[in-house]
Structure 1
Amino acid sequence: MDSTRLLSLLLIFCCVSAVNATGKGRGFIGYPEDSGLVVVHQTTVDILKSNLTTVFIPIMYIIVFVIGLPANGMAIWVFLVRTKKKHPSSIYMVNLALADLLFVIWTPLKIAYHFNGNDWTYGEPLCKVLVGFFYGNMYCSVLFIACLSVQRYWVVAHPLSQQRKNNKVAVGVCVAIWAFVWLTTTPLYLYDHTVRLKDPNITTCHDVNVIKDIQNPFPSVQLPYYYFIFMGMVVFLVPCVIIVVAYVLLLRALGHNMDDSAAGKNRHRAVVLIVTVLMTFLVCFIPSNIMLVVHYSLLKDGVINNGYGFYISTLCLASLNSCFDPFIYYFVSEDFRDHVKNTLLCRSSRTVERMRVSFSSMKYSRKSKSYVSDSGNTQSSSC
């Protein structure tokens, strides 16, 4: 509940900041001069100098870096090193963690950019890389979460099916997702994202769109418009539908086995997982993808007052998925929970295996809530 309240406050802060920063005038649209510099509206100048872009947004990226780097790094290490028996869910999760990690390692550049007054000093190529990894992470996360949702349903609904343990299918799906995302992020490298402004004297990265002809703005934003319309309507919306259908079928499958106490526990865990995924989408993916479509739809018509402050706030919140995804691993995989606990307690894999064998040879006493060996010796089941 505390995390939900915190996220609600963050959303409210973003909305208030966006309203205060947007004002009247054209959004982040620049018009080139003969000198090569770009002139922007005073509203754009105010937002670029506001606390929203120079304080709040970089602080959010610091949180993403501080939490996302160790959490996803540990997840990859647990899945690759500590988990001996690989299964499709772990394959999807390690790829999801890798996608998050590949984005998180670039966030220091984003932090420095905003703290430096939204002045990009690292050149056009690095700006393209940062933008590419940002959107690549977003759509990779959506697709891998969809795969996890389908896999979770299939394991519960078809527990005796051999297909649920087919790692080759999972590996093939992951390779296809990486290839697809790599291919679909290619258009982001085909046009410039950095813009040198006249006032303030800064270079922005993926913030200002240059409109060469004010009477006909569409050709100037044609490529990003078609790109984000396609990604929002296909790469985001279709996996969303798949996730909703998978979880509805999952709850229905668990509902048929409510007499079983184990099924009741699985149902509770599934509900928590669904809430976690739902929170991730409500905070990270749904607002950002809606605003991407709205933003570029308005840009192509040169519409006045396009709410850019709220738009960049939703993109900032989209990066929080790198912090939420480890909670998805926690609720999906029991092995992940155990391995993380043992890793934090500095237990080696050999020690854990000896403990498992030792406990399996003992009888559990409900009265003492401990394991009792045949000789009468008692050992606690707590770690």
Structure 2
Amino acid sequence: NKNTSKQHLLNLTYINISNFTGRFLPPIYISIFIIGLAANGWGLKSLRHNWKKLGNINVFVLNLGITDILYLLTLPFLVAYYFMESKWIFGEAFCKMTRFCFNLNLYGSIGFLTCISVYRYLAIVHPMRVMGRITVTHSVAISLMVWLLVSVQSLPDMFYSKTSMNTTEKCYDTTHELYVEDYLKYSLGWTFVGFCIPFLITLGCYSHVIVVLCRTNTTDQMLKQRCLRLLIVLILLFSVCYIPYHVLKNLNLWSRVLSKHRICNEWSNGVYIARQISRGLVCLNSALNPLVYLQGNTNIPAKLGHVIFRNYVDAC
């Protein structure tokens, strides 16, 4: 009787946490779809009006907008999936394509934000070295390289099963339980290459930029404040959207590996719920990325770089 009661309690707990995803994610996806389309439409319009002012960085900002719109267009299908109690009716191929678009958005956003970070670092910290040397052609070539690298990183994910073995009603964002151990290894490598390395590059760039801005003697405080606000936006994106998602994704996969080997872990339900919350948070990047357009509607790095260059010449 005790064993029966315990199993019944476990089943109820599993049902409750499974229902949590269906209740939590659809409202988040609907909100992000509406806000994200409006914000990105406005952002791209702003980019078009300020194309000449932004300089070479506009190429990266344009690609950032494309990654967002690509993902936002898949959200109605995911909303329908969760409203139908996790029943996927659009076929396995489209399920994989939907998940692939999410990965392109996630790691494409990280890649292009990293490019923006490096560009701003070079323009502010080393203006004399890059002045006139970085052209639009270079920016386009780098953007194509980012798309290629992100696609190569995301492509293996499409070879993992995204549905149940005997039905196509499920559309897993990772994979079926049978392949979870291999997927965990792939996910850890993917996290290191697709997130950790770009994050460290971005962190290093902006740490140096902040030091330079604090040391620069310039009366144009408004320009400095706008640049610092942009740094805060990008730090917010990484801290709120990307870090929790990657930590909890791999922790949840590890929990599933332990469960597969019948190793009881009391924290698995808590990790599962936190993981679903992180999935909602990571989607916010599609709505928050347009803030990069808002804070970058003038060529701030070029202006600050010019001030630093002028100060350097005066000192000499």
Interval of TM-score (by shorter of Structure 1 and Structure 2)? 0.7 to 0.9
* CA–CA distance in structure 2, aligned partners of residues 139 and 152 of structure 1: 20
Asked if residue 174 in structure 1 is aligned to residue 133 in structure 2, the reply is no
* Aligned pairs (5 A) from 1:160-199: 160=128, 161-163=130-132, 165-195=134-164
| Larger RCO (CA under 8 A, 6+ residues apart) | 2
Name the CA shift for 1:309/1:67 in 2 (closer, same or farther; >3 Å). Answer: same
Asked if residue 95 in structure 1 is aligned to residue 63 in structure 2, the reply is yes
Task: State the Cα RMSD in Å.
Answer: 2.6
The runs of at least 4 consecutive aligned structure 1 residues that moved more than 4 Å come to: none
| 1:121 CA drift (Å) | 1.3
* Aligned pairs (5 A) from 1:1-383: 42-48=12-18, 50=19, 52-80=20-48, 83-84=51-52, 87-160=55-128, 161-163=130-132, 165-195=134-164, 203-206=169-172, 210-212=176-178, 220-258=179-217, 260-262=218-220, 264-302=221-259, 303=263, 304-305=265-266, 306=268, 307-334=271-298
Question: TM-score scaled to structure 2, two decimals?
Answer: 0.81
Alignment length, in residue pairs? 285
Contact kept, 8 Å, 1:154 with 1:164, in 2: the verdict is no
More helix per residue: 1 or 2? 2
* CA–CA distance in structure 2, aligned partners of residues 151 and 248 of structure 1: 14
Contact kept, 8 Å, 2:180 with 2:253, in 1: the verdict is yes
% identical aligned pairs: 25
**Unmatched 5+ stretches in structure 1:** 1-23, 26-40, 213-219, 337-383
Name the CA shift for 1:55/1:196 in 2 (closer, same or farther; >3 Å). Answer: farther
Question: TM-score scaled to structure 1, two decimals?
Answer: 0.68
Partner of 2:308: none
| Matched position secondary structure for 1:301 | helix
| Matched position secondary structure for 2:164 | strand
| 1:209 CA drift (Å) | 5.1
| 1:80 CA drift (Å) | 4.7
* CA–CA distance in structure 2, aligned partners of residues 326 and 117 of structure 1: 32
| 1:81 CA drift (Å) | 6.7
* CA–CA distance in structure 2, aligned partners of residues 257 and 266 of structure 1: 12
Contact kept, 8 Å, 2:177 with 2:256, in 1: the verdict is no
Structure number, greater radius of gyration: 1
Structure 2 letter corresponding to 1:316: G
Name the CA shift for 1:191/1:209 in 2 (closer, same or farther; >3 Å). Answer: closer
* CA–CA distance in structure 2, aligned partners of residues 43 and 255 of structure 1: 53
More strand per residue: 1 or 2? 1
Deviations 1:255-305 (A, max 9, x none): 2323x212x223212221122112211211000011122122333333534
Structure 1 letter corresponding to 2:131: Q
Name the CA shift for 1:208/1:279 in 2 (closer, same or farther; >3 Å). Answer: closer
Structure 1 letter corresponding to 2:235: L
* CA–CA distance in structure 2, aligned partners of residues 315 and 291 of structure 1: 9
